[in-house]
Structure 1
Amino acid sequence: MKAKEQILSLKAYQPGKPIEEVKRELGLTSVTKLASNENPFGCASAVKDAVMDELNSVSIYPDGYASEIRSKLADYLNVQPQQILFGNGSDEVVEMFCRTYLSPESNTVMAAPTFPQYKHNSVIEGAEIIEVPLTEEGKHDLDKMYEAIDRNTKIVWICSPNNPTGTIVRERELVSFLEKVPSDVIVACDEAYKEYVVADDYPDTLALQREFPNLIVFRTFSKAFGLASLRIGYGVAHEDLIKIVDPVREPFNTSRVAQRAAITALDHLGFIEMCRERNREGMEQYEAFCQNYDLSFYPSQGNFILIDFKKKQGDEVFNYLLKNGYIVRSGNALGFPTSVRITVGSKEQNEGIIQCLSHWLDKETVS
């Protein structure tokens, strides 16, 4: 049986190593995972109670329209319920837009490196991929991305904060870009890490949608809300766009448990504020470490930091940390071969990995 030609070049997504696997392989009793940008503080405690209660109804299909969480989220975002499209994580919403708009006759524009699922899903649909390198500051080069748009362009992807650099597109930059982009080209702004952002000039993309109906916004409950394993994310767009895309959504694509957890999470926003504050404190720990050892890093507005170890390969740093019980993400797989991406953890976790790296770098300097 012959598959689609473009499928043959794809590789399955490779997640970070599971904790139990690392323990077993290396004989470790304690392993800290700081590789997948999960929330080190878990989720609001009330969410756990809600999940346990919802388990009494696991034999019943979920609400396919997600009516209750839709209404609650719409109020929280100050948008209309019809503007929201839920997915099994925001990854699935990305997939739905690709499936709806991309074809072998079209192209799509994105930064490089960025979140790989834009490219992955675009390849599946047979679309031409136009990648525009990030600037030296690790930011989207919006001028060159605009220049790459032609009559066959259907979607332009903007990841802000960008994964893996953590940099953002600022409001004046985004507005200037949107003013130039043709109205029949979708601008997809992925804000998976939005809740961690502290920058004053981060754009209010939902407000901008009133002026630019071709702007869509992706967000998720996986990161700051701490619901990664339950897989619930969403897209917000003009109602007409949602009506077009919704038919490609699989029925019952978000579970009862995920919907209930998200509903409850929105009732406990103080937890998000706490996570944002702790994350910023942790980021300062890493920035101080980098400055102390003259290591380059991109100022990140996410819950992760990409650190350049210069002459060392990312895989070398990754393997050293793995042997010492820390799972991070090697930059070799992210387009930054001398870097590693580290999720900001708790204060104690950050101190542990920084102490481990400091010991290694000090020993390297002496030798």
Structure 2
Amino acid sequence: MTTPINRRRFLRGAAAGLSAVTLNQFLTACGTPEARTPPATSAAAQPATVPPMKAPVATTAVTQMEPGPQPTAASAGAPDLVVARSGEPEAMVRRAIAALGGMERFVPREANVIVKPNICVAYHTYEYAATTNPWVVGAVVKMCFEAGARSVRVMDFPFGGSAEEAYEISGIAEQVKAAGGEMVVMSRLKFMPTDLPNAITLKQAAIYDDILKADVVIDVPIAKDHGLARLTLGMKNLMGVIRDREVIHGMLGQNLADLAGHIRPQLTIIDAVRLLMANGPTGGSLDDVKQLDTIVASPDIVAADSYAATLFEMQPEELLYIMAGVAAGLGRSDLKNLRIEEINVGS
């Protein structure tokens, strides 16, 4: 099997040493949230143990990422996108990834993997559909190790509450640790001013250094409503790898496509076990949550987002970042022409 291009080997040849750039103060995903008191932690949630760090931003820049996953023998004949339904979260993830050719297609042996879920706030447990389902994340971590990964780190940069609180309340910390993975609190010291040479509008951003240097990045968003972007899906979830989110808000659709084109996760797994149908991105009412028991998975982030949009009775062309992603050559939104495999796990 031909293994994907190693990110660290590629990045050793990238240019570095750019001057530091002063960026503005951190914004939330859709404005400044009002202070809230976190609810009592659910029994399933366990605390993250890594303390937060606050320090000046380092100035070393990395200029470019390598392309996404390359075709392999395992992927020959695989569908472009898989939809798994009507099962437990881990079972749906496993069936979806198996249909794509197995996790070995995306994670070479000894790879250092980063899993990027949505753990945006410390306000609600996973039932409120503001954060990725913890059993989905746990399943991804297990499968990475089963494929031979050296390390699997899970991280996000919450805008509401501390990372420790968010990791604990979401339930993700417990499942990741049970699977042998590591929860990482993202330090401001490690966001690197980075040129995006192929970008249209987002020419520079402070991107988390571990993301830039990982061998494999797996994007694991929850599908939910968003007041500014309309929906948070795979491309929108990547906002959690940059420090200063206000640099994206002005031309949001194009900027999200620019960022996705630079990060290029090897695999996108969208958690649609529960959908947040309104009042996103943080929600707060179970009345806004729809139980769907669905997983959408694809190496094509644009295709994954395009299909997930239909779960909200929206078309891909209604989301500016999807159309910008298509124009940039990041993937396809023409669902009728994609090879889509649908699996009923419960049958």
- TM-score with structure 1 length normalisation? 0.28
- If each structure's strand is expressed as a fraction of its own residues, which one has the higher value? 2
Structure of larger gyration radius: 1
Higher helix fraction: Structure 1 or Structure 2? Answer: 1
